[in-house]
A = this chain, B = another copy of it.
Amino acid sequence: MRPLCFAGLLLAASLAARADEGMWLFNKPPVRQVKEKHGFEITPEWLEHLQKSSVRFGNGGSGSFVSAQGLILTNHHVGAGMIEKLSTPERDLLKDGFHAKEPGEELKCPDLELNVLMGIEDVTDRVNAAVKAGQSAEEAAAARRAVIAAIEKESLDATGLRSDVVTLFQGGAYHLYRYQRYTDVRLVFAPDAQAAAFGGDPDNFEFPRHCLDYAFFRAYENGAPAKTPHFLKWKSAGAEEGELVFTSGHPGRTNRSVTFAQLQSIRDEGFPQRLEQLYRSEALHRAWSDRDPENARRAKGAIVGIQNGRKAIQARLNGLLDPQLMKHQAEEESRLRAAFRAKEEWREADAAFDRIARAEAEERSFSTRLRMLEGAEGFATGLFGIARTLLRAAEEAGKPDGQRLRGYQESSRVSLELDLFSDEPVYKDLEALRLENSLTVLCAKLGADDPAVVAILDGKSPRERAAALIDGTRLDEVATRRKLYEGGKEAVLASDDPMIALARKIDAEARELRAKAEVLDEGIAQAHRQITLARYALEGDSIYPDATFSLRLSFGVVKGYHDRVEVPAMTSFRSMDERHRKQGGIPPFDLSEVWQQRAGGLDPKTPLNFVSTNDITGGNSGSPVVNRQGELVGLIFDTNAPGLVSDFAYTEAQGRAVSVHPAAIVESMRVIYRAERVLAELGL
């Protein structure tokens, strides 16, 4: 499982939580449900400790503090992007793993931001009050954007904390989240990728599973390890089968409350288009990777990410293409709408479904163009992203904060600059490949005779144009970016960098498309707000909002399942060894040299991975699993295939969260990697 990569899904026609379902807000925890079902009382103190021990990874994952000196446990695959950026042709940290034997050897990540949630404030009334009756969708969207920017700015100025207004329940509520922010984050320990991702793409989303998918980072403040009084106590024994466990993490996005019409769009357009892009990208990157070993090193992380997305979306799409499931969803929506129609005050909520369907249809009429030009799928290189960020930052700076594009407000400045000035390596040959490919897609999608396409290609073939842009740009140099950024609008408009020139050339149309989509999205959000308020009234308080990459609590039990055969809840080093042998030890079932030398010393009975019924999704990767005592008893890293439909409907028949067992982390660090310093810091 990868952090945050899904395009979106679905209607759980009733939002009321059943079974172990739910990604609960920390300011609205499932106290009653856990008490009733599992006889455990969630206290405010218990919750606060878990909250402040939880860490959000800005690149789309989760983690937790495991020492008072800022030591953080997360997944290897959450950290893999950083580990790759810290690698060089001579030092391949993905392949070899990494261990800072001394504090001074910890490696600083080029552009990683961590957030720790310090508090939540409900600002729904203030946001809604800013929108006046009778405003057009365009005016309403602008007013809402302005008041949200103002709230964030005030909070940042007052507290110094990162302040984000989170839209919940599709606009049914707005909460202000304040985060402690860490931008100096260092790599402490990572196993080799063969062990971390044992079984690779074939075993991804499968269970039984055998991955040492863990890594340790450390938060720093003022050049020294951060002081983190809230951290999780390590419990190597883990949890028993049947035991109640919680996860605290940042599920990226679910779509359990979209309407049937939106579901059809996702099924017929959103997912197929995303899959087309992923299949293409996978074949392309693998072919390039095959050309030589250094290419392979450079493309490895990208390929893993692409394969993960492909497998996840394919499984979800197959779910949506199940006519029985869709029939059920249609019936549930009909039932809900009938209930709405039965009461005069909910009539508008019923009509809202039709408004959403119309807005969806309108958006589909230009969605390809929107994706290509504003979504930049037609120029899929990070270097174009940099060019556009420079152009827009320069242009937006001249506007009042509340009128700027999202991401360019004062409250976003620190994160924007962290990204923009990252010194992560840029491989121009790989970027040229990606750009050529995406220009070719652009031609196919809009037609090679389209005026925008003609302007973009500038009289060249995609191959020549990509080569000219990538060879010509200097945006791969951080100093160039900084100079343009500091030079402001004048410098950016005068720049003869070809990538900047390209961004200038298409920005008018791209912004126009974006504005058009935002107006439609505001209409959809307003309609969802009406539906959600009617649901509140109809279904009481036992509901939770769709995931929004904000902190959520889920609960469940450690439990195997039946899938033709009985699948036990846990694997072990013994079953890992069996799988390795059965697959002939060839990649991705191979083991590194250090494993081959030392694996004989491992206790084969050590539990390795386990499954539980917790409700999670992408973004939860790296979440701690804790017991009633708040001790760390596991590390979320995946969902099994039957659980992937959780994007649009939770299921505990076969769907499971998959975790690394703490005993396996300790045993591997002790026997294989000999990472004594980390073990000592964990108190082991």
Contacts and interface: CB of A to CB of B under 8 A. Distances in A.
Interface of A: 200-202, 264, 267-268, 272, 275-276, 278-280, 282-284, 286-287, 290-293, 307, 310-311, 314, 317-326, 436, 440, 443-444, 447-449, 454, 457, 459-464, 583-584, 586-588
B201 A287 contact: yes
A440 B461 CA distance: 32
A291 B202 contact: yes
Contact of A267 (B267, B317, B319, B448): B448
Q: Most chain-B CB neighbours within 10 Å: which of A444, A464, A583?
A: A444
Contacts of A586: 293
A450 to B, nearest CB: 10
Nearest to A295: B202
B268 A283 contact: no
A585 to B, nearest CB: 10
Sort A-B residue pairs by CB-CB distance and give the 10 closest, nearest first: A272-B444, A322-B461, A282-B283, A279-B280, A202-B291, A279-B283, A283-B283, A318-B463, A321-B461, A268-B447
A573 to B, nearest CB: 21
Contacts of A276: 276, 280, 444
Nearest to A586: B293
A297 to B, nearest CB: 12
A164 to B, nearest CB: 35
B310 A283 contact: yes
Given A318-B440, A461-B322, A286 B286 contact: yes
A85 B443 CA distance: 39
A263 to B, nearest CB: 11
A645 to B, nearest CB: 11
Q: How many copies of this chain does one complex carry?
A: 2
A293 to B, nearest CB: 6
A292 B203 CA distance: 11
Contact of A460 (B200, B311, B323, B461): B323
A588 B460 CA distance: 33
Given A280-B279, A321-B448, A202 B287 contact: yes
Contacts of A272: 443-444
Contact of A321 (B293, B310, B462): B462
Given A268-B447, A307-B287, A449-B264, A462 B318 contact: yes
A202 B290 contact: yes
Given A267-B448, A287-B201, A586-B293, A454 B323 contact: yes
Contacts of A268: 443-444, 447-449
A320 B449 CA distance: 12
Contacts of A464: 322
Given A318-B462, A448-B321, A464-B322, A588 B290 contact: yes
A292 B268 CA distance: 32
A559 to B, nearest CB: 25
A287 B588 CA distance: 11
Nearest to A439: B321
A368 to B, nearest CB: 13
Nearest to A315: B463
Contact of A317 (B201, B440, B457): B440
Contacts of A444: 268, 272, 275-276
Contacts of A457: 321, 323
Contacts of A311: 287
A627 B178 CA distance: 81
Nearest to A289: B202
Contacts of A447: 268
A198 to B, nearest CB: 13
B292 A583 contact: yes
B461 A318 contact: yes
Given A202-B291, A290-B201, A291-B202, A459 B284 contact: no
A162 B662 CA distance: 72
A583 to B, nearest CB: 6
Nearest to A583: B292
A154 to B, nearest CB: 47
A311 to B, nearest CB: 8
A380 to B, nearest CB: 14
Contacts of A290: 200-202, 587-588
A201 B284 CA distance: 11
12 contacts: A202-B287, A264-B448, A280-B280, A286-B286, A287-B310, A287-B311, A292-B584, A318-B463, A321-B448, A321-B457, A322-B460, A323-B457
A584 B202 CA distance: 26
Contacts of A291: 202
Contacts of A436: 318
